[in-house]
Copies of this chain bind each other. A is one copy, B any other.
Amino acid sequence: MAGTRVSCGLDYCNVYELSNSLQDASRAGYDFISVPLAHPRFTREHVEGKAKLRDGAFTRSDLLLSSSEWNSLIVGRVTTAAVLNLECGVSSLRLNSEETLAQELTFAAHLGLPALTIPLTTDRCVNLARIIHNKVVQGVCYQVWVRVPMQAPEESAGHYRSDKKVSEDGFEIDTWTWWNKFHSIANIQKKIGLMIEVSADLPDQSVVDRWLGEPIRCAVLPTSIWLTNKKGFPVLSRSHQLFVRSLNKLHAQFIISGPLRHQHYKFYQQYLEHITRMELDPLTDFARGYEDYLQCPLQPLMDNLESQTYEVFEKDPIKYEEYERAMFLAISDRVPEEERDTKEIVLMVVGAGRGPLVRRALAAAKRAQARLKVYAVEKNPNAVVTLQAQQDEDWGTKVTVVSCDMRDWDAPEKADILVSELLGSFGDNELSPECLDGAQKFLKEGGISIPYSYTSYLSPLQSPKLYNEIRNCREKDKHFLAHFETPYVVYLHNKKELAAPQPLFTFTHPNTDGVIDNKRYKALQFQITEDNVIHGLAGYFEAKLYKDVMLSIKPDTHSRGMFSWFPILFPLREPVPVRTGEIMEVQFWRSALDAHMTPDVRTFLNERQNSTYMTLDAHMTPDHEQDSLSGNLTDSYNTTWIDPDSQLCSTHF
């Protein structure tokens, strides 16, 4: 299936007749144009201390276009002069710059522009970030696209290739740090996005990936970085093509800037449209629209699932195939071939839902030519209606439908095989261990549990986008101040993983321990290999169904095409900056309550409080210094995320 069409704008250095320029760009296939906010022939003079504006209008009239055109087709460019002296120590110059910027920001709001762009040319951007923050929190119609070059310009980057990140006069030449500082001080509002100016030579892949972890709203592709093919048309190098495709997956928009170097501007747009057409695999297709969209983890033990939820999960093209394969192997192993006519196998599906595993069990038995008796145990009375209807119409006596919580069921006989699908995105987080501990009393000695083992995995994540999504939840919903202490199920998209996932907790079934204890504790250490900021931890699982039949959502072993689970995200309350060479330590708890309660209370408490506690600790190597310019951010290195003793901080997952 084709992805959505790329959105592409054309940058005008200056504009003489605005509506003509707009028409030209539209005819060349562009979706919008970028123009300066202040008309260049109206330069403004300010006098010391009090900014005095010249007589007459400082820019063109809003009557040149209709509101709907201003609202959707015009991106305003703040003039460089407006930000030039914002960080200047001479107060008259600084105030003049502030007045000029304020005038342009106000006029952009008057016009109702969808976006405006502001250039960032140095890491000295505290005043600019402060002003933009203040403007954005007041509520503005436009997005702010902060234009940052991917690499520092040559003149300031003389020593870049010698692996120093600071030029001789102390100028920071890793431009990501310019953006990161601006973004941190502007308090990473959702309205503020990155507009990256793509360089002719792309940096190392890990640096590219760090950019891709940022909320890129727009990418500038100057005409100077384009190549010319044999027929004279503009094309991009292979590495630029890959980068453009990655940007397109983030739904970034593009802007072509700079003087025309080929026959017509339309060819740049056509080429971009061409290379961003793509085929989607089943998972990506399924996940469209869910990118970075926060979902609360299901709590199927407490809340009954709805018909639609069952329907979606039953459509997974991989998961039930693998279950059937596992059941086929288990049935085959359980009955010697010569006994298949006589011996009946008892298989229990605990948490049968609307019956997908029942159907697969019957199919597996048929393939194995074995006699199978199935119990379908389900606690949701609405799903039981579906099971009963199928039993009436299809299954007959081969299947017994049991309307009951598996932990309370008094089984009439014991099972050879116990099949369940109780896993959450983090493996045990939907209380599979507790449920199966209860159900294993009706598994025969030596009987088989499918799955028989599962392990959760964790890795640290850079994602200002997700951090903002979570913060936004909190701001919208005053009842839930604990959004940062809640894990979310989310299709991770605009992010970078800063280290490979490491295994955390493993559970096996049946559990043969003398005293069953599902509490866990573990500390993980991650080696940090670049300067970056951590916004949360990504969680995955791997499960073993039977022998080598596996299900996995861990990226490197992901069951291809399986879409039943998105990863889980443990957000951090405050972003934690990290530096190359540091070790980051994460401590995780899985807590559990005792079972001396009535089933109802048990269910409720289990799901609400059977919690994971986490502390996070980034050990600094001794030779690292605090960065005084962004001290308010870096002094949070030692972040205790959650107090394990506090009830309030319990992470229910």
Residues of A58-113 contacting chain B, CB below 8 A: 58-63, 66-67, 70-71, 103, 106-107, 109-112
Cβ of B388 and Cβ of A57 under 8 Å apart? yes
By the criterion CB–CB under 8 Å, are A385 and B307 in contact?
no
Interchain CA distance A184-B503 in the complex, whole Å:
56
A 385-400 to B, binary, CB cutoff 8 A, 1 in contact else 0: 1101110100000000
Q: A478 near B: Cβ within 8 Å?
A: yes
For the complex, is A382 an interface residue (Cβ under 8 Å from B)?
yes
A354 at the binding interface (Cβ < 8 Å)? yes
CB contacts under 8 Å to B, within A420-460, are none
Residues of B within 8 A of A168 (CB): none
Give min CB distance, A299 to chain B, whole Å: 15
> Are A307 and B111 in contact (CB-based, < 8 A)?
yes
A106: chain B residues within 8 A (beta carbon): 381-382
Q: How far is the CB of A580 from chain B (nearest CB, A)?
A: 44
Question: Smallest CB-CB separation from A304: which chain B residue?
Answer: B110
Whether A57 and B478, one on each chain, are in contact in the complex, defined by CB atoms closer than 8 angstroms, is no
Most buried by B among A110, A304, A308: A110
- The answer for the CA separation of A388 and B354 in the assembled complex, in Å, is 71
Q: Contact string, A306-348, partner B, CB cutoff 8 A, digits 1/0?
A: 1110011000000000000000000000000000000000000
Asked if A56 lies at the interface with its beta carbon under 8 angstroms from chain B, I say: yes
Q: Is the CB of A311 within 8 A of B66?
A: yes
**Across the interface, which residues of B come within 8 angstroms of A386, CB to CB?**
61-63
Residues of B within 8 A of A307 (CB): 62, 67, 70, 110-112
- With beta carbons under 8 angstroms apart, the residue of B56, B62, B383 that contacts A354 is B62
Contact-residue size bin, chain A (C-beta under 8 Å from the other chain): 35 or more
Are the C-beta atoms of B385 and A109 separated by less than 8 Å?
no
Q: Which residue of B has the minimal Cβ distance to A308?
A: B67
| Smallest beta-carbon distance A218→chain B, Å | 23
- Pick from B107, B312, B385: contact of A59, CB under 8 Å: B385
Number of copies of this chain that the complex holds: 2
Q: How far is the CB of A302 from chain B (nearest CB, A)?
A: 14
Complex Cα spacing A66 to B310, Å: 11
Contacts of A382 in B (CB 8 A): 62, 106-107, 110
Interface residues as binary, A349-360 with B (CB distance below 8 Å gives 1, 0 otherwise)? 000001000000
Within 8 A of B (CB), among A583-616: none
A71 proximity list for chain B (CB < 8 A): 308
A106-124 contacts to B (CB < 8 Å): 106-107, 109-112
Would you call B56 and A306 a contact (CB within 8 A)?
Answer: no
B109 pairs with A306, CB closer than 8 A:
yes
Nearest residue (CB) in B for A106 is: B382
CB neighbours (8 Å) of A60 from chain B are 389
Across the interface, name the chain B residue whose C-beta is closest to A307. B62
- What's the Cα separation between A70 and B309 when bound, in Å? 13
* Shortest Cβ distance from residue A500 to the other chain B in the assembled complex, whole angstroms: 38
Whole-angstrom CA separation of A43 from B482 in the bound complex: 46
Name the CB-closest residue of B to A60: B389
Cα separation A384 to B311 with both chains bound (whole Å): 59
The distance in angstroms between the C-alpha atoms of A66 and B62, with both chains bound, is 51
Within 8 A of B (CB), among A269-310: 304, 306-308
**Contacts known (A106-B382, A107-B382, A382-B107); A61 close to B390, Cβ less than 8 A:** yes
Provide the residues of chain B in CB contact with A383, threshold 8 Å.
Answer: 110
A314 to chain B, nearest CB (A): 10
Quick check: B63 and A308 within 8 Å, CB to CB?
Answer: no
Interface centre among A106, A307, A383, A392 (most CB of B within 10 A): A307
- Provide the residues of chain B in CB contact with A384, threshold 8 Å: 57
Question: In the complex, A308 Cα to B381 Cα: how many Å?
Answer: 55
Q: What's the Cα separation between A381 and B385 when bound, in Å?
A: 68
Q: Which residues from chain B contact A70 at a C-beta distance below 8 Å? A: 307-308
B308 adjacent to A57 (CB under 8 Å): no
B-chain residues with CB within 8 Å of residue A103 when the two chains form the complex: 381
**Pairwise interchain contact B385-A107, C-beta atoms closer than 8 A:** yes
Which residue from B63, B110, B304, B385 sits with its C-beta under 8 Å from A306?
B110
The answer for the CA separation of A110 and B303 in the assembled complex, in Å, is 11
| Segment 371-420 of A: residues with Cβ below 8 Å from B | 381-386, 388-390, 392
Q: Is the CB of B311 within 8 A of A57?
A: no
Instruction: Report the separation of the CA atoms of residues A60 and B478 in the bound assembly, to the nearest whole angstrom.
Output: 41
CB–CB B478/A112 < 8 A: no
Chain B proximity of A20: nearest CB distance (Å): 17
* Bound Cα distance from A312 to B388, whole angstroms: 60
Provide the bound-state CA to CA distance between A390 and B56, in Å.
11
Q: Which of A56, A57, A111, A304 has the largest number of chain B CB atoms within 10 A?
A: A57
Bound together, the chains give a CA A111 to CA B308 distance in angstroms of 7
* Most interface-central of A107, A308, A312 (chain B CB within 10 A): A308
Q: How far is the CA of A511 from the CA of B311 in the complex (A)?
A: 72
Chain B residue at minimal CB-CB distance from A107: B382
A389 & B57 in contact (Cβ 8 Å cutoff): yes
Complex contacts, A67 vs chain B, CB 8 Å: 307-308, 311-312
Docked CA distance A71–B389 (Å): 21
Q: How far is the CB of A475 from chain B (nearest CB, A)?
A: 11
Q: How far is the CA of A383 from the CA of B63 in the complex (A)?
A: 10
Minimal beta-carbon separation of A488 from chain B (angstroms): 19
Say whether A389 contacts B61, CB under 8 Å: yes
Known pairs A62-B382, A106-B382 / 8 extra A-B pairs, C-beta < 8 Å: A57-B388, A59-B385, A61-B386, A61-B390, A63-B389, A67-B311, A71-B308, A112-B307
Instruction: List 14 A–B pairs whose Cβ atoms lie within 8 Å, in order of A's numbering.
Output: A58-B385, A60-B389, A61-B386, A62-B382, A62-B386, A63-B354, A70-B307, A106-B382, A109-B306, A110-B306, A110-B382, A110-B383, A141-B306, A478-B478
The 4 closest A-B pairs by CB, nearest first: A61-B389, A110-B382, A67-B308, A57-B388
